[in-house]
Structure 1
Amino acid sequence: MRNEKAAGPGNIPADALSHTCHHMQKKTTGEAAASASVSLNINRGRIKIFKYNMENTNAITFDGETLEEVETIT
Structure 2
Amino acid sequence: MSDKYEPKPDDRSDNVEKLQNMVQDTIENIEEAHETMEYSSGEQKEQIKAKNKRREEAIESMRQEIKDEAKK
Report if TM-score (shorter chain) is over 0.5. Answer: no
CA radius of gyration, larger in = 2
Larger proportion of strand: 1
TM-score, normalised via structure 1 length: 0.43
TM-score, normalised via structure 2 length: 0.44
